[in-house]
Amino acid sequence: MSAALDTATATRSGKGHNDENFPVASHLIHPRHRPAILAFYNYVRAGDDIADHADLSPERKIAMLDALADALTGAGPADPEAAPLKRELAARGLPPLHALELLDAFRMDARKNRYADWDELIHYCRYSAMPVGRFVLDVHGEDPARVYKTSDAICAALQVLNHLQDCGKDFRTLDRVYIPEETLRKHGARVEMLGEARATPQLRAAIRDLAERTLGLLEEGRPLPDRIDDTRLSMEIAAIHRLAVLLTRGLLTRDPLSEKVHHGKAAFAFIALGAAAGALARRPFRGRAAA
């Protein structure tokens, strides 16, 4: 079996877009855009599953990610995970750049399991998170000069938030630690503390430190919904932003090793709906026509 075909079979986790912490192409997104976003999600999900596979060597992961990239660009054999995205990109005249950058992040995951400082972590987010927002914006025809910067801040915040929520699991299952070594040292924490049932005071302090920095990123990204021309996308991003703020604030007081940080589904939906409605209510006051 070829490396490309392997990506569609043995490495898949079974996780889908409905299992993610934040909405992926929810029904707020116009139906004409959802197929492209879901094709992008499924492609990068295949890459993420390779990077997180416990039984593959780093070298094997890199080879499989390279095959997945070649399937998208046409430099190698076809892959069932790449074909739908390849069709969507061709139909819209979009390049494969954002998807390929995410594969670069997965290659980092295959080779690297520790981060020295905040800047190094944000560099990882540049490839692991920011391309997702940029792709969605490009699909909607938004102006990069108006929206990329604030989108990048929100996407980086979502990535760090996910890292903090999953910090114990990532350490136990993958020996992967995204909390920067500099932050751990600053608060007298050690990597091994991530394997305990409850976070120590030192580790809690490190997590709060990163949560506060994440709230700063979310504040940078706060103007994004009002800069977006597509009304439905504006509502979607407003909902995601509100949920991220509340979850990040939760990490200031909750222990992700022993407590649930997520809200229940009903509360999740209520919060998202309120934020989306707020974004809709602001549309007449944006100063430019909305799609």
Assign 38 a pLDDT band (cuts: 50, 70, 90).
Answer: very high
Q: Are residues 88 and 128 in the same domain?
A: no
Name the E strands within the chain.
none
For the chain, the distance separating the N- and C-terminal CA atoms, rounded to the nearest angstrom, is 47
Using alpha carbons, select from 128, 116, 200 the residue that is nearest to residue 161: 128
pLDDT in tens, 80-104: 999 999 999 999 999 999 999 999 9
pLDDT in tens, 124-174: 999 999 999 999 999 999 999 999 999 999 999 999 999 999 999 999 999
Q: Are residues 146 and 264 in the same domain?
A: yes
Q: Are residues 164 and 198 in the same domain?
A: yes
The answer for residues whose C-beta is within 8 angstroms of residue 213's C-beta and 6 or more apart is 118, 160
Q: Are residues 65 and 119 in the same domain?
A: no
pLDDT in tens, 196-248: 999 999 999 999 999 999 999 999 999 999 999 999 899 889 989 998 999 99
**Does a structural domain hold residue 23?**
no
Q: Are residues 82 and 147 in the same domain?
A: no
Q: Which of 97, 127, 142 is a domain's end point? A: 97
Q: Which domain range does residue 124 map to?
A: 112-283
138 three-state secondary structure:
helix
Structural domain count of the chain: 2
Stretch (H or E) spanning 153: helix 144-165
Q: Are residues 93 and 125 in the same domain?
A: no
Helix axes 130-139, 97-111, angle to 10 degrees: 170
31 burial class (0-12, 13-18, 19+ CB within 10 angstroms)?
exposed
pLDDT the model gives residue 16: 44
53 three-state secondary structure:
coil
Domain with 263 in it: what CATH number? 1.10.600.10
Provide Rg for the chain, Cα atoms: 19
Q: Which of 40, 66, 97 is a domain's end point? A: 97
Q: Are residues 183 and 44 in the same domain?
A: no
> Cα(1)–Cα(278) distance, rounded to whole angstroms?
51
